Amino acid sequence: MALVNLFGSKGKRALSTLLICAVIFELDAQEQRTTPGRKPSKPKLGKSTNKGPRAVTPKIKATPAVPAQTVLTQVLNRRKFKKVGETISVQTGDTLELRCRGKPVQWSVPKYLEEDDEGRLRIVQHERYGVLTLVNTTGADTGEYTCYPMYCEDTDCRKEYDKAVKVFVFFPDPQELFVPTSEYYEAIQLRTNWPTLLPCQVTSPEAKVTLHREFPPVEVAVDGKEISFNVKRGFTIHRPRPHHAGALFCVASLGNLRQSSTKYMLIYVNYPMAPPAPVIQASSSSVAVGENLRVICSVVGEQDVVVEFTWEYPGQQIGRPLYTQESISPVGGGAARQQSQSVLLVDEVRDVDQGAYTCTAQNLQGVKSVFTNVKVVPNAKPKKP
Ligand SMILES: *[C@@H]1O[C@H](CO)[C@@H](O)[C@H](O)[C@H]1NC(C)=O
């Protein structure tokens, strides 16, 4: 029973396990008056009907004996408590009230509420639990509500992420099947092999949601592997390929209602799995004055992934003009790979050209530099190794 879970650890006010409606009102009032700094009484293990991990934790001096399991309950209209599952639905207009055991707790709410709740959201910390109340709810409030118990040492508190409990709350709106967004359309990058989310969020778990392409107007097959749907998130394209690009939107239907979501403009980007790993090599590590020098910098990577090269070289400061030649060539083998290369050409080497030649290669994942040293020797025949 939820009541027992909530108050089973209460010592002083040893609540009988048969609390009923009216009593809880009174309890709330008492909880509010309690000073937070007070020493908590030890939990009475025997009282818990909780089948979760028993609070047999060894006594740690600094920490109050907090029950090991976080419990999140929904307070229903008639002051009834209900332990929440993964999702709940609350009628729009109604009040959402969640209680979370912990001393103290912190909450996270959907982003839109965080930014502007118009005074509808109230969070109160009682002695042993926190309460989140959201009034005048709308479909836009649909989303994840999380309670984080805090671990405190004196005044130092941190969230206990592993004990967080979350509930996804739907606010089925008879007029709006999709959680409204401020944008008429949203541009989304499809990166090679990186899962991409189309966040068309419905306000009701009962809505049937399909995915559609604008041109040509077709329904997109959702097989659960290449593309999958999650009622708490939207559609995910697991391994984007160029053919997924274009304008897509979701359609939700429930009863007689059928509505389209925001449009998603999917733009395909050839995206590397990793930063480039350039390799540098000079035609010779020792060049005679007057000879020509070539320094080659090359990167092997995924096909169609753009690599940009930049160079730093000794003659740079005095404005020595240098030339680079860039090229791309396919690499043999099964996987679609290519070699991108930049060649730095130094005609008629002078003394000032001696030093370190640095090549920096960049792709969408990152940057890496490599260098090689070149020695310039007098105009006699250079000693070849
Ligand atoms: C909730 O709605 C009622 C009725 O429209 C209004 O009087 C009240 O001010 C609203 N409360 C908040 C906190 O917005």
**pLDDT, tens digit (0-9, with 9 covering 90-100), for 84-122:** 888 999 999 999 999 998 888 999 999 888 887 788 999
Which of 122, 136, 137 has most ligand 1 atoms within 8 Å of CB, for mutation? 136
**Which ligand 1 atom is nearest residue 136's CA?**
1
Residue 55's pLDDT band (boundaries 50, 70, 90)?
very low
Q: What are phi and psi of 209, to 5 degrees?
A: -120, 130
Ligand 1 atom closest to Cα of 119? 13
**Model-wide pTM > 0.75:** no
Element holding 113 (H helix, E strand): helix 111-115
- pLDDT of 16 > 70? The answer is no
The predicted pLDDT at position 68 comes to 52
Looking at residue 5, its pLDDT comes to 36
Residue 236: closest CA among 224, 247, 254, 248: 224
Which residue(s) pair with 298 in the sheet?
279, 341
Amino acid at site 357 = Y
> What is the predicted pLDDT for the residue at 12?
33
Task: Determine the pLDDT at residue 10.
Answer: 35
Closest-CA residue, ligand 1 atom 13, reads 120
* Residues flanking ligand 1, CB < 6 Å: 118-120, 135-136
Nearest CA to ligand 1 atom 7: 136
What distances in angstroms separate CA 327 from CA 4, 85, 94, 297, one per listed residue? 72, 57, 64, 11
What are the pLDDT digits (tens) for 241-284? 999 999 999 999 999 999 999 999 999 988 888 999 999 999 99
Q: What is the Å distance from ligand 1's center to 136 Cα?
A: 6
The set of residues, in sequence order, having a beta carbon less than 8 Å from that of 143 and lying 6+ positions away, is: 109, 110, 111, 112, 113, 168, 169, 179, 201
Q: Rg of the Cα trace of the chain?
A: 32
- Pick from 120, 121, 135, 141 the residue to mutate for probing ligand 1's pocket: most ligand atoms within 8 Å of its CB: 135
* Protein residue with least CA distance to atom 12, ligand 1: 120
The alpha carbon of 92 and the centre of ligand 1 are apart by a number of angstroms equal to: 13
**Domains of the chain (ranges, CATH numbers):** 72-170 (2.60.40.10), 185-269 (2.60.40.10), 279-377 (2.60.40.10)
Residue whose CA lies nearest to ligand 1 atom number 14: 120
Residue 253 near residue 175, CB atoms below 8 Å: no
